[in-house]
Amino acid sequence: MIPLKDDIPSSSFPVANTLLIALNGLVFLYEVGLGRDVSQFIQRFGLVPVNVLSLGIPGWGSIFSSMFIHGGWEHIIGNMLYLFIFGDNVEDALGHAKYLFFYLLCGIAAAWGHILFNTQSAIPTVGASGAVAGVLGAYLLLYPRAGVLTVIPLGIFIRIIKVPAVLVLGFWIVLQLLFGLISLPLPGEQSGGIAWFAHIGGFFAGMLLASPFIRRRNKGSFI
């Protein structure tokens, strides 16, 4: 399922969400300009679990820098699409400054979710997926019955229908859990590819952190 838009209009311009999308876009354009040197850039600023655990606090900077680096066009477009669709409403509920802080906290939780399941990995991980997953978790908690216009591929046919957010996002997190379990490395192995446990950690962090961050005047007003 590929979401296209939801049916809840924003009550204010999503300043923080727009800033995050723009920042991710600018960093990606910088990556594109690096050409063959992009692999060195990712190695330096990506999240490498073994480095974070061995270097301690000095190595934690990569937890933040990795949130704004992407591995390709499909990677960034997918993440920014989800952030664009669901982030504005979560920002409405939390307020601009709180939303930005919330987003970064979810990214941190996602990073540690990945690190704890890949303690020996020297493979750099990049992407906003974990932080965006936190936004999805908050959206599911706040707007479970919102309608989401969704593309559903059926073989060679494609249908576009409105689906409740609880089904779209519920289906998404179930897939993350399944693929996460399948991808667990054997002792002594390193896992590569998609950081499923970053998605899982970010999603549940978003659900847990959303309520404390909600602006008081908005509490009780969600559908």
pLDDT on residue 59: 76
The CATH classification of domain 2-218, taken from the options 1.20.1540.10, 3.40.50.2000, 3.40.920.10, 2.40.50.100 = 1.20.1540.10
pLDDT on residue 190: 54
Three-state SS at 214: coil
Task: For residue 172, give both structure tokens.
Answer: 């998404």
State yes or no: pLDDT of 115 exceeds 60. yes
Rg of the chain, C-alpha, whole Å: 17
How confident is residue 218, by pLDDT bands cut at 50, 70 and 90? very low
Residue 221: Cβ within 10 Å count: 10
Of 186 and 99, the structure prediction assigns the larger pLDDT to 99
How confident is residue 189, by pLDDT bands cut at 50, 70 and 90? low
Average per-residue pLDDT for the chain: 89
Q: Domain segments of the chain: what residues?
A: 2-218
State yes or no: pLDDT of 130 exceeds 90. yes
How confident is residue 7, by pLDDT bands cut at 50, 70 and 90? very high
pLDDT on residue 222: 40
Backbone angles phi, psi at 118, to 5 degrees: -145, 50
C-alpha span between 60 and 193 (Å, rounded): 21
